Amino acid sequence: MRQLDGLYASYHKDWWCRLQMYYHFKLCHAIFSALMLLVLAFSIVVGTNWEESYAVMGLTAVATFIKGWSEFKKYLIKINVCRFSYTTSGTTLIEVKNFARGGLEDMSHFLVKMKTRDEIVRDFTPPTCDGFITLYSTIFVDKAFSVYEYCVI
């Protein structure tokens, strides 16, 4: 059963890091969208009050560049993929807890199922950023995860 503690700690780390990546990509997408809308609104105000068409063209070009950069970075796809990853990791955490409570499956079948799920998630999602792994290890450095702490029998 010590193997379950290692699985739980690994999936908790994966879940937490993927959730932080999800929030990071969501924040980046929101910042780029807001900045693009702000520059476009400013170009409209400048265009109505000032007859200098080059300023309006320049501001519109900057807004288009910001929008293009956001689409180039594919933040929406990264948001969806990270959402899939952290929800799958959360479901896996629940399954590990349920198995520790007295799951009906055989341990070898359970481990094969977890390995298959882990491979699917890792194939479809971008690698976890090293910064989030370092942050996780500083936040949870004293926390030793045990499945039995979370199981109410």
Q: Is residue 150 part of a domain?
A: no
Residue 51 inside a domain? The answer is yes
Report phi then psi at 142, rounded to 5: -90, -5
**Percentage, residues of the chain above pLDDT 90:** 17
- Is residue 148 assigned to a domain? no
Give the pLDDT confidence of 104-122 residue by residue, as tens digits.
Answer: 667 888 888 888 888 888 8
Tell me the pLDDT tens digit for each residue of 49-86.
877 778 888 888 898 899 889 889 889 999 999 999 88
- Is residue 151 assigned to a domain? no
Distances, alpha carbon 80 to alpha carbons 16, 18, 47, in Å? 16, 11, 37
DSSP helix/strand/coil, 129: coil
- What is the DSSP code (8-state) at residue 30? H
Domain of residue 91 covers 2-142
Q: Per-residue pLDDT for 30 more than 90?
A: yes
Does residue 152 sit within a domain?
A: no
Domain total in the chain: 1
In total, the chain counts a number of residues equal to 153
Establish if 147 belongs to a structural domain: no
Instruction: Specify the pLDDT at position 114.
Output: 85
Instruction: Please say if the pLDDT value at position 21 is more than 80.
Output: yes
Q: Is residue 16 part of a domain?
A: yes
Q: Which long-range contacts (CB under 8 A, 24 or more apart) does 100-103 make?
A: 100/1, 100/4, 100/8, 100/147, 100/148, 100/151, 101/151, 101/153
